[in-house]
């Protein structure tokens, strides 16, 4: 079964954070899949689902290692090179 763009985006982020197989990560994927396929739901229903997805994602990523920021990497290299 083909998954929607929201599901795929969350799956990629969860994998990079090593959280895909956690219970919270699985809940995020379930909710993202539901939201991707919520064609017959009301706008209020989709909004409630999106809110629950946001909370679940926050919980899933809590304590996860952050992806390195390119600006932080450049700043660290500059400090190392110039001693500042």
- What is the mean pLDDT of the segment spanning 39-52? 88
Q: How many CB atoms lie within 10 A of CB 61?
A: 18
Report the pLDDT value the prediction gives residue 67, as an integer from 0 to 100. Answer: 67
- Predicted confidence (pLDDT) at residue 32 exceeds the cutoff of 70: yes
The phi, psi pair for 74, rounded to 5°, reads: -65, -40
Considering only residues 78 and 68, tell me which one the structure prediction assigns the higher pLDDT: 78
Domain count, the chain: 1
- Predicted confidence (pLDDT) at residue 72 exceeds the cutoff of 80: no
Residue 60, domain extent: 5-82
Residue pair 43/50 in contact (Cβ under 8 Å)? The answer is: no
Report the pLDDT value the prediction gives residue 71, as an integer from 0 to 100. Answer: 73
């Amino acid at each position: 079964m083909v998954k929607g763009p929201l599901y795929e985006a969350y799956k990629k982020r969860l994998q990079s954070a090593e959280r895909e197989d956690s219970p919270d990560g699985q809940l995020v994927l379930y909710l993202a899949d539901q939201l991707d396929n919520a064609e017959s739901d009301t706008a209020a229903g989709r909004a409630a689902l999106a809110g629950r997805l946001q909370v679940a994602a926050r919980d899933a990523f809590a304590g996860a290692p952050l992806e390195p920021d390119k600006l932080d990497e450049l700043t660290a290299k500059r400090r190392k090179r110039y001693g500042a």
